[in-house]
Amino acid sequence: MRGRAPRLPAVLLGGLVFVVALAIWEVWARTESFYFLPPASEVVRRAWDVWPSADFLNSVGASLKRLAVGFAIGTAAAVAVGLAMGSSPRVRSTLGPTAEFLRALPVIGVVPIAIVVLGVGDAMRIGVIAFGVFFPVLVATVEGVRAVAPEIRDSAALFRLSWVERSARVYLPAALPTIVAGLRTALSIGLVLVVISELNGEGDGLGVYIETQRALFNIPEVYVGIVFLGLLGYVMNRLFLVLERHVLAWHYGAVGEPGH
């Protein structure tokens, strides 16, 4: 308990900043009377009715399902390719230029191609999410594997471990802290891409909800969806940090950083 006490003021300060931001939003909206900027109190009132509704919760569930599948596919592929590129200069020189070219492409520019190839259903949306989360994890994995000490690599070679064994027993554990950092970045990107992919086509999801309300000029409801996305991203990030602390407890102990 004594170690956690200093965190309390920081938590209170963070909550105070959030409340002040809402107050500024409220005053600004009522002072300027912008049609496209409803007061925060109006958004909160609409959210109270919308968020618990079955239709909205179904939209949230559909978006989270697409995020989970796309995130799993993209990160699994990125870790596999990253292990190969990080451990082999030949593979890195072969795949590196193509990976850098694709990484430079804006994901929103990939959406039309994905629609042509995969249609406007879940396959397109999951593909866009997987494409977007692939590269942060790939870069983190490559850098984490390349940072493995030469003496560790030599020991693995001395024991004549196969590439699969070296990857599972040496490279992956050593690169895990870096990979997890990439996963955290990819999670935020994935949530954004859920909405971007759902803005195209029909069906359900948070992006569809926001676009539908925009088309109907229900501006407070548009903000209801946007605010929910912000809160969802915050909760997901906090949960990820808790999971990270458990998975990497050995790492934080080794570097002398206490867990939470």
Other CB atoms within a 10 A radius of the CB of residue 212 amount to: 15
Q: Which domains does the chain have, with CATH numbers?
A: 54-254 (1.10.3720.10)
- Residue whose entry in the numeric block shows the structure tokens 């978006």: 63
DSSP string, the chain: -TTTTTHHHHHHHHHHHHHHHHHHHHHHHHHHT-TTS--HHHHHHHHHHHTTSHHHHHHHHHHHHHHHHHHHHHHHHHHHHHHHHHH-HHHHHHHHHHHHHHHTS-HHHHHHHHHHHH-SSHHHHHHHHHHHHHHHHHHHHHHHHHTS-HHHHHHHHHTT--HHHHIIIIIHHHHHHHHHHHHHHHHHHHHHHHHHHHTSSSS-SHHHHHHHHHHTT-HHHHHHHHHHHHHHHHHHHHHHHHHHHHHTHHHHHHTTPPP-
pLDDT at position 44: 93
Q: Give the whole-angstrom CA distance, residue 221 versus residue 209.
A: 9
State which residues of the chain have pLDDT below 50. 1, 3, 5, 256, 260
pLDDT at position 218: 92
| Contact indicator for 186, 75 with CB cutoff of 8 Å | yes
pLDDT at position 260: 46
| Contact indicator for 49, 227 with CB cutoff of 8 Å | no
Longest dimension (CA), the chain: 73
Q: What does the angle CA 11 – CA 14 – CA 17 come to, to the nearest 5 degrees?
A: 150
Q: Give the whole-angstrom CA distance, residue 170 versus residue 176.
A: 10
The pair phi, psi for residue 37, each rounded to 5°, is -135, 85
Q: Give the whole-angstrom CA distance, residue 173 versus residue 163.
A: 14
pLDDT at position 46: 94
pLDDT at position 8: 56
pLDDT at position 54: 94
pLDDT at position 182: 94
| Contact indicator for 184, 212 with CB cutoff of 8 Å | no
| Contact indicator for 125, 197 with CB cutoff of 8 Å | yes
